[in-house]
Chains A and B, each alone.
Chain A
Amino acid sequence: MATDLLLFYLFGAIAAGASLLVVLGRNPMHSVLLLIVSFAALAAIYIGLEAPFAAVVQIIIYAGAIMVLFLFVVMLLNAHREDDAAPPAGVTSGPLRAGGVLAVLLVAELVWALRRAARGGDALLSAGPGADPAALQSVRALGNRLFTEHSLAFEVTSILIIVAMVGAVVLARRES
């Protein structure tokens, strides 16, 4: 049982570390690549959570499609580095520092709130019949759920995708 904890720490550390480097990195290309590493680590964690389908979706859609889009834009714009020059007049570094402080506060707040939730969850886990891994892993169950209970949401999402597609084409088109 200790191995899954060990694996969680390994992949969790990779995900957290890579995400931090994404945010701090100066080269957008490296940021994009590190984010893919973070996604892959999260996919490994999903497998540990009895969610192989989620793990595969994470890789196919996030790493395989969305990140390629980012990569394309970074390659096409060819803006290798962020300007380290001073921000334009009217923008002081105060708000930027405030962002850092805010993030630290957010961590503290989230950890506090989630620890309470986790205590409830673990109590549930030890009291209840426990989740059946086979039922959780089943793609069939997921599909049934998606196309019955959540069918309206599913249809709305498809409209969202079409709107986004048309919108992206209109926005990125060169005016002739």
Chain B
Amino acid sequence: MPIYVAQLGMVLAVFVMLLLSAAVMVYSERKVAAFIQQRYGPYLVGPRGLLQPIADVIKLMFKEPLRPVAADTAIFFLAPILSATAAFAAFAVVPFGAESTFFGLLDEPIKLQVADVNVAVLVVFAITSISVYGIVLAGWSSNSKYSLLGALRSASQMISYELSYGMALAGALVLAGSLSLTDIVNAQQGAWFGFIPRWFVFVQPLGFAIFMIAGVAETNRAPFDFPEAEQELVAGYHTEYSSTAFMMFFLAEYINMVTAAAVAANLFLGGWHGPFLPEYLGWIWFLAKTAAILFFYIWMRWTLPRLRYDQLMQFGWKVLLPLAALNLIVTAAGVIYFGN
């Protein structure tokens, strides 16, 4: 099979995988929430409620698409598309396994990744910063006060936490000496003293913690879900959206979570490297790590109460950012002192 066919197949596979992961996330979010709150959760549609996400999608698609009279039509329709596109695009540079020939199906091995870019980490970052626009434009173009407030909150929150997010991951970049996600993952191969995996989380515990917290804020999840704080803002930036447009925001939100978790697994948890499994089954490790981080996100959402908005800003600028800077300085000094 020629290589470009395989690569096209890879693009398609990643697309379908992301769609499926969003469906799985919706289901597990509801099930885990139900478990934490001692309810049953969805159980009627399909065995154990497994088909619930599909029912949700069908329900949403058959709803009436509404548009506020005073809305800026072009931007109102553009915003959800932008959100969803950015969410899908960010995953393009994230590797999820070692090179593989698919059991000899291909002549030469291809990377389990859509595109291997030498500035992959920054590309993820750039696309995340574009996804702010989806939210801001949705809020502004709806011409409704709740939407606007949600959008403003979301934009300032995402910009504030992007700094700590970037600085926390810079620690891992310094350790690996590369901006390519593949190189960073491969720098975490092997083990110390034969049993501790060489994952960056063990040398960068603070960096990992900051990265996770900032990641939650970046994806607008509880306890940082101010853009859509139901009690204050109805539904925040997507108050005025319904039907397919709403579905796109929903999809983008879950895919952003998956991407954030996958990037965290690659940067700090050694990606597809791990004990017990051979290299070509590494993607199982990758999936397990990503799923663990995602479970942690859900767990956090249904356990912790929402902060106050000014506390969130204070925390981001006065605690997280200085800590991230300190972490970066110490890491850089350590790399120079110990010569990597």
Contacts and interface: CB of A to CB of B under 8 A. Distances in A.
Whether chain B is bound by chain A comes out as yes
Interface stretch (A60-68, A100-108, A115-123): A60-68
A52 interface: yes
Interface stretch (B121-129, B191-199, B240-248, B252-260): B121-129
Nearest to B137: A33
Contacts of B123: 56
A35 to B, nearest CB: 12
By DSSP majority rule, is chain B's interface helix, strand, loop, or mixed? Answer: helix
Interface in A77-127: none
A59 interface: yes
B129 A65 contact: yes
A75 B152 contact: yes
Contacts of A60: 122, 125-126, 129
A33 to B, nearest CB: 7
Contact of B129 (A63, A71, A137, A139): A63
Contact of B118 (A65, A71, A139): A139
B263 to A, nearest CB: 15
A137 B152 CA distance: 37
A65 B129 CA distance: 8
Interface residues of A, number: 18
Contacts of A65: 129, 159
A64 B119 contact: no
A140 B136 CA distance: 35
Contacts of B151: 75
A33 B152 CA distance: 17
A33 B76 CA distance: 13
B75 interface: yes
B155 interface: yes
B283 interface: no
A52 B117 contact: yes
A1 B326 CA distance: 48
A44 interface: no
A75 B122 contact: no
B159 A68 contact: yes
Interface in B95-139: 117-119, 122-123, 125-127, 129-130, 132-133, 136-137
Interface string B133-160: 1001100100000001001100100010
Contacts of A63: 126, 129-130
Given A52-B117, A68-B132, A75 B75 contact: no
B32 interface: no
B179 interface: yes
Contacts of B129: 59-60, 63-65
A65 B136 CA distance: 13
Contacts of B119: 52-53, 56, 139
Nearest to B156: A72
A36 B122 contact: no
Nearest to A75: B140
Contact of B75 (A33, A36, A53, A57): A33
A42 to B, nearest CB: 13
B110 to A, nearest CB: 21
A29 interface: yes
A56 B132 contact: no
Contacts of B162: 64
A137 B118 contact: yes
Contacts of B72: 29
A52 B140 contact: no
B168 to A, nearest CB: 16
Given A63-B126, A75-B148, A137-B118, 9 more contacts: A53-B122, A56-B125, A56-B126, A63-B129, A64-B132, A68-B136, A68-B155, A71-B155, A75-B151
12 contacts: A52-B118, A56-B119, A56-B122, A59-B127, A60-B129, A63-B126, A63-B129, A64-B162, A68-B132, A68-B159, A71-B155, A75-B151
